[in-house]
Chain A
Amino acid sequence: MRYSIIKTVLVLVSVFVIVIAETSAQNNPQKTIVVPLSNPDQPGIFSLDLISGKIHITTHERSNVVINAQKRELKTTTAFNNNDSLEFEVTENNNKVVVEMNESSIITDFEIKVPKKCSLNLRLLNYGDIYVEGVNGEFEISNENGKISLINISGSAIVDTINEDITVNFIEVANNPMAFSSLNGNLDITFPKNLQANIRAKADNGEVYTNLKIRKKPAISKTVHSNTNRINVEEWLEGVVNGGGSNISFKSLNGNITINTKN
């Protein structure tokens, strides 16, 4: 154990740091940087926590991460100081690439290319969607005011939005627990036919559509009497798919939930 720690320390020493600052007075500055992975034949992890902008991630055959950031042109500049420079920091440590924004008051659109095997940890607050295509890994993705679309991905995902839809299309799934939640958005999640899982879904004010055999389980729903109102608080649809596996839960307050399997 002690020497594992020494190992870790050695790795930390080799951290790779780039600070990108675009100070030119262009209206629409952009920057592209290439981040090599320290273990090119191993999967990567990419992490980005963004206040304003969009995140668009696709794959390439190379084993590096290419980050293109572009400041979004605004028609009105009232809310944002348009003179702010495009500035962010990228670190690579043991295949984990982390992008950190230094200046949160500008809207930055990211176009990123990652290796096919790469886990993603993405958070976005405002002004854009998160779009991911063709990546294989573990995904932790959260977008408060935009959509999340994960197209032709493999692995497992834990996803939440507040106001917009979540669309996920799995080619292959890893046997990990997953969860998809939204307040006002629809969930549309497609799995391969060979999915093995324990499914739970709850759409408080919407409908659940599925080609899976899952059914309401009134046995565990808790019913409460409070004055004259009768509230059914736990009405999950539950089902065991192909003998069962990890738990996958789907929850939307005001949206519909669609769960399908396809070949």
Chain B
Amino acid sequence: MDIKEYKELMMDYVTGKLNEEKRVEFEHFINTNPESLKEIDHLRSIWKTTDELDSPEPSIKMDEKFYSFLDSERATKRNPSIIKYVKSLLIFPDLNAISGKLTYGVIVLFIGMFLGNKIDSNIFNGIQNSENHNSEVEEVRSQLVLALLEQPSANKRLQAVDEANKLVEVEEIVINALFKTLNNDPNTNVRLATVESLSNYVNLPTVREGLVKSIIKQKSPLVQIALADLMVAIDEKKSIDSFKQLLNKKEVNETAKQKISQSIQYLL
């Protein structure tokens, strides 16, 4: 066995996928090669750690604590079903074990980085003096929104938009991510939810501008109409040109065209 074959087989060896013959050959190689033995030990311990990620009980507890804190901060507005929600976040479909691990890792990393850097451990002992914490809760939520918006499952992306709706103050990076979703997401319902979410920030000129720019990019009549309703609601006259362009497109749905013509009338 040479070093090349060794490199190819090392993952299979650690995961126990080698057949008997190869395994003996492999073990012989690493035993004669202390560097490799070290490497294999290292790899094995990492492999073991990643496997252990399958049983996240302690993390659920930790997250429950965290989220119940998050929730209590906003108790006046929100329903306390957050624990269930967290569970649903953590229970990834088994078949996606690998991407699940990655996602889980990313979320935990975000939360971990944040907790490590900024939150005093007192926060879990119930010392809550508002303003600071609120902004930190906001930041965690923002990171959660960003991580969930990148998920392949429409479920998770809808969840991201729901989370974004709970933000009191929104960062530019979140707005940008929402616009990326509005303009590119393959799922109509996710885009629809994003229109509504962005409607919370129409007081920001960049958001108004982004919404107007998005009109011409929308292919689904449902989203076109949602934008038309919103533009009328905020009386955004700059949208008139974009809507007129849509009306000139052959492929635009007739029902949508009627609705858009109506909206233009209101806006004029």
39-91 of chain A: CB within 8 A of chain B = 39, 42-45
- Determine whether A260 belongs to the interface, using a CB cutoff of 8 Å to chain B: no
Total number of residue pairs linking A and B with CB closer than 8 Å = 138
B159 touches A177 (CB 8 A): yes
- Which one, B46, B99, B153, B162, contacts A3 given CB within 8 A? B46
B155 touches A4 (CB 8 A): no
B161 and chain A: residue at smallest CB distance: A177
Give CA–CA (A243, B80) in the complex, Å.
Answer: 9
Task: Please name all residues of chain B whose beta carbon is closer than 8 Å to the beta carbon of A184 when the two chains form the complex.
Answer: 255
Give CA–CA (A107, B149) in the complex, Å.
Answer: 34
B95 touches A1 (CB 8 A): no
| Stretch of A17-25, A127-135, A211-219, A224-232 that contacts chain B | A224-232
Task: Please name all residues of chain A whose beta carbon is closer than 8 Å to the beta carbon of B153 when the two chains form the complex.
Answer: 138, 140
Give CA–CA (A180, B221) in the complex, Å.
Answer: 15
245-259 of chain A: CB within 8 A of chain B = 245-247, 249, 251, 253-254
- Which one, A42, A95, A159, A226, contacts B267 given CB within 8 A? A226
| Stretch of B119-127, B135-143, B185-193 that contacts chain A | B185-193
161-194 of chain B: CB within 8 A of chain A = 162, 187-190, 192-193
With known contacts A43-B93, A179-B192, A240–B256 Cβ distance under 8 A: no
B159 touches A234 (CB 8 A): no
- Determine whether B33 belongs to the interface, using a CB cutoff of 8 Å to chain A: no
Task: Please name all residues of chain A whose beta carbon is closer than 8 Å to the beta carbon of B113 when the two chains form the complex.
Answer: none
Give CA–CA (A177, B230) in the complex, Å.
Answer: 23
- Determine whether A102 belongs to the interface, using a CB cutoff of 8 Å to chain B: no
Task: Please name all residues of chain B whose beta carbon is closer than 8 Å to the beta carbon of A42 when the two chains form the complex.
Answer: 94-95
Q: Could you tell me the dominant secondary structure of chain A's interface residues?
A: mixed
- Determine whether A160 belongs to the interface, using a CB cutoff of 8 Å to chain B: yes
A158 touches B259 (CB 8 A): no
Interface string of A171-192 (1 = CB under 8 A from B): 0001111111111100000000
74-99 of chain B: CB within 8 A of chain A = 79, 81, 84-85, 87-88, 93-96, 98-99
| Minimal beta-carbon separation of B53 from chain A (angstroms) | 9
A226 touches B235 (CB 8 A): yes
| Minimal beta-carbon separation of B258 from chain A (angstroms) | 10
Give CA–CA (A198, B79) in the complex, Å.
Answer: 9
- Which one, B43, B98, B188, contacts A8 given CB within 8 A? B98
With known contacts A181-B189, A183-B256, A1–B93 Cβ distance under 8 A: no
- Determine whether B62 belongs to the interface, using a CB cutoff of 8 Å to chain A: no
Q: Among A156, A158, A182, A229, which residue has the most Cβ atoms of chain B within 10 A?
A: A158
225-268 of chain B: CB within 8 A of chain A = 225, 229-230, 232-233, 235, 253, 255-256, 259, 266-267
Name the interface size band of chain A.
35 or more
With known contacts A4-B105, A231-B232, A176–B88 Cβ distance under 8 A: yes
Interface string of A92-126 (1 = CB under 8 A from B): 00111000000000000000000000010000000
Interface string of A1-42 (1 = CB under 8 A from B): 111101110110000000000000000000000000001001
A118 and chain B: residue at smallest CB distance: B95
With known contacts A177-B158, A196-B81, A138–B93 Cβ distance under 8 A: yes
B50 touches A156 (CB 8 A): no
Task: Please name all residues of chain A whose beta carbon is closer than 8 Å to the beta carbon of B232 when the two chains form the complex.
Answer: 224, 226, 231, 233
Task: Please name all residues of chain A whose beta carbon is closer than 8 Å to the beta carbon of B193 when the two chains form the complex.
Answer: 179, 249
Task: Please name all residues of chain A whose beta carbon is closer than 8 Å to the beta carbon of B81 when the two chains form the complex.
Answer: 196, 243-245
Between A and B, 19 residue pairs with Cβ closer than 8 Å are: A3-B43, A3-B46, A42-B95, A45-B95, A158-B158, A160-B188, A175-B88, A177-B162, A178-B158, A179-B193, A180-B189, A183-B225, A183-B255, A196-B81, A229-B266, A245-B84, A247-B162, A251-B222, A253-B259
- What 4 A-B pairs are tightest by C-beta distance, nearest first? A179-B189, A95-B95, A244-B79, A177-B158
Q: A4-B50, A43-B94 are in contact. List 11 more A-B contacts (CB 8 A).
A: A39-B95, A42-B94, A42-B95, A94-B98, A159-B189, A233-B233, A245-B84, A246-B85, A246-B159, A253-B222, A253-B255
**B residues at A contact (CB < 8 Å):** 11, 43, 46-47, 50, 79, 81, 84-85, 87-88, 93-96, 98-99, 101-102, 105, 153-155, 158-159, 162, 187-190, 192-193, 220-222, 225, 229-230, 232-233, 235, 253, 255-256, 259, 266-267
